[in-house]
Amino acid sequence: MNPLKIMLVGFAAVIILAASSGAYWYTVSLSHDYSWEATFEATIPVTNATVILPLPARDGISPVADAIADGKLAGVPPGWDLTVLEDGEVRMLRISAEAITPRPPHTPEPLMEGEEGPTAPQGAGNAGAYPLILSISVPSASPITTQHPDRTEPLLLPRHNLTSVTCDFPHPPSLPLVCTHYDTRVYSRYNATRPDALTVSVSAGGRNEWWILGWSGNAYRDTVIVTLAGDGWQAAPGKLVAGEGRYSVF
pLDDT of residue 27: 61
With respect to residue 120, please indicate whether it lies within any of the assigned structural domains. Answer: no
pLDDT of residue 104: 65
| Strand partners for 220 | 206
Q: What pLDDT, in 10s, does the model give residues 78-123?
A: 999 999 999 999 999 999 999 998 866 555 556 556 555 544 444 3
> Could you list the residue range(s) of the whole structural domain that residue 213 is in?
27-102+127-245
With respect to residue 113, please indicate whether it lies within any of the assigned structural domains. Answer: no
pLDDT of residue 4: 44
With respect to residue 88, please indicate whether it lies within any of the assigned structural domains. Answer: yes
- Structural domains of the chain, count: 1
pLDDT of residue 129: 46
Which segments of the chain have a pLDDT < 50? Answer: 4-22, 24-25, 118-129
Provide CB contacts within 8 A for 197, sequence distance 6+. 42, 43, 44, 45, 46, 190, 228, 230
With respect to residue 108, please indicate whether it lies within any of the assigned structural domains. Answer: no
pLDDT of residue 50: 97
With respect to residue 236, please indicate whether it lies within any of the assigned structural domains. Answer: yes
